[in-house]
C-alpha cells in the first residue's frame, strides 16, 4: 500500500467470530469485486462519484476494533463507507444478549459455546446482494460466484487495485436495466432468471426499490417479493442481510432443513419459533454447525 491510503477503526462489542465471518463472506464472494485474503476482507467501492478499494482486518492490539485501510479516492465518502462496513460486519449487535436467548435451545448451545460472537453478515450494496441472491437460486455457491463474476466483467467498470483478483466495481443496476434479455441469457441464465434480474435492476434504477435497513424495510421487502421469480428463500435471505431484519429466517434453505434433522421447510419454520426475535442468528449457527460437522 502507499502512504496516500486512508486509515480508520471500527469498534464493536466483543466477542466477534472474525474468522467465521470472513469464511462466510469469502465462500460467497463476489468474484472480481470482493475477496478474502490473508485474514483481511477486501472489496472495490463505488459511492456517488467516488470509487476505490477497502481492506479490513482485526486489530491485533485490541479485542474490540477492526482496522480499515481505504484508497485515498474514497475520502469524500469516508463516512458512508464506514457505516456500510458496520452493517456488513454486523458490528452494532449485542452478541451476549442474543447468545443468552438462543442458548436455551440445546441444539444451538454447543455452537454458541464453541464459536461465540457469530454475526449475520450484511450487505455493502443492496442491489449487489439481490443480484447475488437471485443468481444463487437453485445452484451451488460456486456456480453463483462464477455467474456473478461474468456480471461483474460485463456490467462492472474495471478498476486498478493492489489486490490480485479485485478487478471490477460492482455491476450497476442501470447498466443491467438498459441491457436486453438475450445479453443476460448469454451469461448463463435461463430466460426466467434473466427476466427476474432485469425487473429488479429496473426497479433499482428507477428508485422504486432500495432494500436498505430502516423503517421502510418491510414495505421494500413486499415490493421485492412481488417481482416474478422472487420466492420466500430469496426474500428472507435478502431480509437477513440487506435489510438487517434479525428475525428473518429462510426456512426453505436446504442446508437449514438438513441441520434440523432433514425436516421439511414447514417443519423448519415451526421449529424456528423458539428463536424469535433472533432467528437470523440461529440460521447462522445452524449453517456453521452443519459446516463444522454437527449437522
Residue numbers annotated as active site? 253
CB 289 within 8 A of CB 269: no
CB atoms near residue 20 (< 10 Å): 19
Report the greatest alpha carbon distance in the chain. 55
In degrees, to the nearest 5, what angle opens at C-alpha 121 toward C-alphas 15 and 90?
50
Q: Return the C-alpha cell found at 60.
A: 491485533
C-alpha cell at 62: 485490541
Dihedral, CA of residue 230, residue 234, residue 238 and residue 241, to nearest 10: -170
Amino acid at each position: 500500500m502507499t502512504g496516500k491510503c486512508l486509515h480508520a477503526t471500527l469498534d464493536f462489542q466483543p466477542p466477534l467470530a472474525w474468522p467465521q465471518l470472513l469464511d462466510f463472506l469469502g465462500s460467497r464472494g463476489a468474484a472480481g469485486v470482493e475477496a478474502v485474503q490473508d485474514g483481511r476482507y477486501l472489496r472495490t467501492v463505488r459511492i456517488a462519484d467516488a470509487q476505490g478499494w477497502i481492506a479490513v482486518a482485526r486489530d491485533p492490539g485490541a479485542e474490540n476494533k477492526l482496522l480499515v485501510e481505504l484508497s485515498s479516492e474514497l475520502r469524500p465518502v469516508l463516512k458512508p463507507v464506514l457505516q456500510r462496513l458496520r452493517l456488513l460486519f454486523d458490528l452494532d449487535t449485542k452478541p451476549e444478549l442474543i447468545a443468552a436467548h438462543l442458548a436455551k435451545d440445546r441444539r444451538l448451545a454447543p455452537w454458541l459455546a464453541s464459536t461465540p460472537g457469530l454475526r449475520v453478515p450484511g450487505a455493502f450494496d443492496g442491489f449487489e446482494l439481490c443480484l447475488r441472491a437471485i443468481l444463487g437460486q437453485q445452484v451451488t455457491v460456486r456456480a453463483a460466484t462464477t455467474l456473478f463474476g461474468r456480471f461483474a466483467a460485463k456490467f462492472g467498470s474495471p478498476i486498478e487495485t493492489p489486490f490480485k483478483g479485485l478487478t471490477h466495481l460492482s455491476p450497476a443496476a442501470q447498466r443491467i436495466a438498459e441491457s436486453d434479455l438475450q445479453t443476460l441469457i448469454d451469461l448463463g441464465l435461463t430466460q426466467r432468471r434473466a427476466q427476474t434480474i432485469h425487473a429488479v435492476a429496473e426497479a433499482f434504477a428507477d428508485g422504486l426499490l432500495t432494500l436498505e435497513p430502516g423503517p421502510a424495510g418491510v414495505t421494500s421487502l413486499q415490493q421485492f417479493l412481488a417481482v416474478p421469480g422472487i420466492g420466500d428463500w430469496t426474500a428472507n435471505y435478502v431480509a437477513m442481510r440487506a435489510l438487517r431484519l434479525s428475525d428473518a429466517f429462510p426456512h426453505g434453505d436446504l442446508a437449514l432443513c438438513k441441520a434440523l434433522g432433514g425436516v421439511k421447510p414447514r417443519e423448519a419454520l415451526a421449529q424456528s419459533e423458539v428463536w424469535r426475535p433472533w432467528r437470523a442468528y440461529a440460521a447462522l449457527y445452524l449453517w456453521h454447525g452443519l459446516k463444522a460437522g454437527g449437522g
